[in-house]
Amino acid sequence: MNKSLSGIGMTSQRTRARLIERLREQGIRDETVLAAMFEVPRHLFVDEALASRAYDDVSLPINFNQTISQPYIVARMLEVLRGGGPLGRVLEIGTGCGYQAAVLAQVAREVFTLERIQPLYERARKQLRELKIRNVAVRYADGNLGLPEAGLFDGIIMAAAAPSLSAVLREQLAVGGRMVVPVGAQEQWLYLVERDAAGFRETRLEPVKFVPLLIGKA
The residues carrying an active-site annotation are: 69
Segment contacting ligand SAH by CB under 6 A, of 10-18, 136-144, 172-180, 184-192? 136-144
**Contacting ligand SAH (CB under 6 A), which of 116, 125, 178, 195?**
116
Interface map 175-214 toward ligand SAH (x if CB under 6 A): ------------------------------------x-xx
At 201, give phi and psi (nearest 5°).
Answer: -125, 130
* The dihedral formed by the CA atoms of 94, 100, 105 and 111, expressed in degrees to the nearest 10: -10
- Total number of residues binding ligand SAH (CB under 6 A)? 24
Give the Cα separation of 56 and 70 in Å (integer): 8
- The residues facing 121 across adjacent strands are none
12: left (phi over 0), alpha (psi -120 to 50) or beta: alpha
Q: CB of 166: closest distance to ligand SAH in angstroms?
A: 10
Segment contacting ligand SAH by CB under 6 A, of 77-85, 109-117, 186-194, 195-203? 109-117
Give the Cα separation of 47 and 206 in Å (integer): 30
- Residue 143 near residue 218 (C-beta atoms within 8 A): no
**Contacting ligand SAH (CB under 6 A), which of 9, 16, 19, 66?**
66
Q: How far apart are the first and last CA of the chain?
A: 34
Query: Does residue 91 belong to the site contacting ligand SAH (CB under 6 A)?
Result: no
Applying CB under 6 A, which residues contact ligand SAH?
Answer: 66-69, 93-97, 99-100, 114-117, 120, 142-144, 159-160, 211, 213-214
